[in-house]
């Protein structure tokens, strides 16, 4: 039977024209390369046939996710010229989305000469996914949890709830946050634009000595405040993996400060001062960045870059207002040493200033950091009919900081060491760590 099929295929090829034969071979080779998930370099080496026209784009395997949502991630439509780079990019984008466990893109011969059909085959994960992180770093105990619906009301929009809690050990304090966000990854039905809105409530309590050199004078500050924040982000995707966004944040702080720090000709008195906190603030920021990671939980290759500049104002009912400006930059790169071994290098820099009205001393700060992690994947295991992916990591980081607060200046270095373990099922991610501060 197998030999008979081979003979029939050979006979069919012989009666084709030479041009049709070449086009058929290109389609077969291209399909095999896509199915194997080849690299971007291999895609670029594949010469495109300018005569190959997309006859149709179809989706397979999606039960919950709208087909139009998947097709728009391809950046190709019916009637376009076949573009291998865009097919590779689509596989990377879709494959990195948490709602898809696996993605394959391949070609079928069209009904007419010179036409092809692009097939996007996806294996869906759970529609609602959760993540929890817990650990102990050098300054606090913390837990962070989120629940995300990647197909909110069947519209392919994203609704996410977050809870965060921490308790300081070196510095006595508590911090609680509760947040909710909504994201439209394809604003106005196009893959060019996206939008996100969020609201967060925070409770912050902290007692600490402001500066080590004033410990003998028992200089301290106690803060007890509540915060509500609204944020909006609108962005446009550019080039292959990049985006430009504009963000607007506004919020209100209310609470009290209790402190004994008074600078009178560079001396400190023991006078206790109590100030109420009643601040309104807003800021606007502009960001540019890219993301080429091959997976959102266990990346093995690719990079992430983001830079943001912002300016805003804080209006205080008690003390002077301030104009706040800043710059943040982050970069992270992953390299696969082997199928189970990955290293990660992350760089970051931030700087900013709070310029007060009324002649008060301004606040200035800057910090730079570098972190490196070694990640080892653990073999996939099945437990209670669920496939579990897992990895462990160890890492170290170095931070250099410089801060000016009123007349106090502090500078120095922080060295962090951290180890962690990550588990993933089809609907849940668990992160546990110890040591260092958050990478």
Low pLDDT (below 50) residues in the chain? 1-18, 20-22, 24-25, 27-48, 210-218, 262-268, 438-439
Same domain flag for 191 and 58: no
Instruction: Report which secondary-structure segment, H or E, holds 89.
Output: helix 84-96
Among 79, 97, 124, give the residue marking a domain's end: 124
Residues 6+ apart with CB under 8 A from 287: 235, 244, 245, 246, 247, 306, 307, 308, 309
Residue whose pair of structure tokens reads 């944040």 in the numeric block = 249
The distance in angstroms from the start CA to the end CA of the chain is 59
pLDDT digits (tens, 9 = 90+) for 151-184: 998 888 999 999 999 887 655 678 899 999 999 9
pLDDT digits (tens, 9 = 90+) for 72-112: 999 989 999 999 889 999 998 898 888 888 899 999 988 88
Considering only the C-alpha atoms of the chain, give the largest distance between any 2 of them, rounded to a whole number of Å.
Answer: 100
Cβ neighbour number for residue 96 with a 10 Å cutoff? 18
Same domain flag for 48 and 94: yes
Same domain flag for 242 and 133: yes
Beta strand 386-405 with 363-383: parallel, antiparallel or unpaired?
A: antiparallel
Residues 6+ apart with CB under 8 A from 49: 23, 26, 82
Among 77, 106, 124, give the residue marking a domain's end: 124
Q: Which range of residues forms the domain containing residue 62?
A: 2-124
Same domain flag for 96 and 233: no
DSSP conformation class of 189: G
Q: List the strands of the sheet with 100-109, edge to edge.
A: 53-60, 115-124, 100-109
pLDDT of residue 97: 87
Same domain flag for 147 and 59: no
- Structural domain includes residue 83: yes
pLDDT of residue 42: 35
pLDDT of residue 186: 93
Same domain flag for 112 and 158: no
Same domain flag for 64 and 167: no
pLDDT of residue 25: 45
- Structural domain includes residue 202: yes
pLDDT of residue 416: 85
Same domain flag for 115 and 142: no
Query: How many domains is the chain built from?
Result: 2
pLDDT of residue 168: 76
Torsion angle (degrees, nearest 10) of CA 270, 271, 274, 275 = -100
Among 90, 124, 158, give the residue marking a domain's end: 124
Same domain flag for 48 and 115: yes
Same domain flag for 339 and 294: yes
């Amino acid at each position: 039977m197998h030999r008979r099929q081979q003979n029939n295929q050979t006979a069919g090829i012989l009666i084709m024209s030479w041009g049709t034969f070449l086009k058929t071979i290109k389609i077969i080779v291209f399909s095999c390369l896509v199915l194997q998930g080849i690299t971007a370099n291999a895609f670029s080496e594949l010469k495109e046939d300018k005569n190959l026209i997309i006859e149709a784009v179809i989706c397979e395997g999606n039960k919950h996710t709208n087909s139009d949502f998947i097709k728009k991630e391809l950046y190709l439509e019916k009637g376009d010229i076949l573009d291998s780079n865009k097919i590779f990019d689509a596989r990377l984008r879709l494959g990195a989305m948490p709602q898809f466990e696996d993605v394959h893109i391949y070609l079928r011969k069209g009904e007419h000469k010179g036409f092809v059909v692009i097939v996007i085959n996806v294996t869906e994960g759970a529609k609602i996914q959760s993540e929890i992180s817990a650990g102990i770093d050098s300054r606090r105990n913390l837990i962070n949890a989120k629940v995300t619906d990647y197909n909110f009301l069947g519209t392919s929009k994203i609704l996410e709830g977050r809870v965060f809690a921490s308790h300081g050990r070196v510095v006595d304090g508590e911090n609680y946050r509760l947040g909710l966000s909504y994201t439209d990854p394809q604003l106005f039905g196009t893959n060019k634009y996206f939008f996100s809105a969020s609201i967060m409530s925070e409770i912050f309590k902290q007692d600490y000595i402001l500066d080590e050199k004033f410990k003998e004078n028992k200089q301290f500050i106690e803060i007890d405040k509540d915060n509500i924040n609204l944020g909006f982000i609108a962005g446009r995707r550019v080039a292959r993996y990049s985006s430009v966004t504009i963000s607007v944040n506004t919020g209100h702080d209310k609470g009290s400060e209790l402190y004994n720090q008074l600078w009178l000709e560079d001396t400190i008195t023991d006078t206790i001062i109590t100030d109420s906190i009643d601040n309104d603030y807003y800021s606007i920021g502009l960001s540019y960045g890219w993301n080429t990671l091959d997976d959102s939980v266990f990346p093995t290759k690719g990079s992430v870059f983001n830079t943001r500049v912002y300016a805003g104002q804080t209006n205080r009912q008690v003390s002077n207002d301030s104009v706040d400006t800043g710059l943040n930059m982050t970069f992270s790169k992953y390299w696969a040493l082997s199928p189970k071994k990955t290293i990660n290098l992350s760089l970051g820099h931030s700087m900013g200033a709070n310029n007060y009205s009324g002649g008060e001393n301004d606040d200035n700060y800057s910090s730079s950091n570098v972190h490196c992690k070694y990640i080892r994947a653990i073999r996939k295991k099945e437990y209670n009919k669920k496939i579990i992916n897992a990895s462990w990591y160890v890492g170290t980081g170095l931070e250099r900081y410089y801060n000016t607060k009123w007349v106090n200046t502090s500078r120095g270095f922080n060295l962090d060491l951290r180890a962690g373990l990550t588990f993933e099922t089809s609907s849940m991610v668990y992160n546990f760590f110890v040591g260092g501060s958050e990478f």
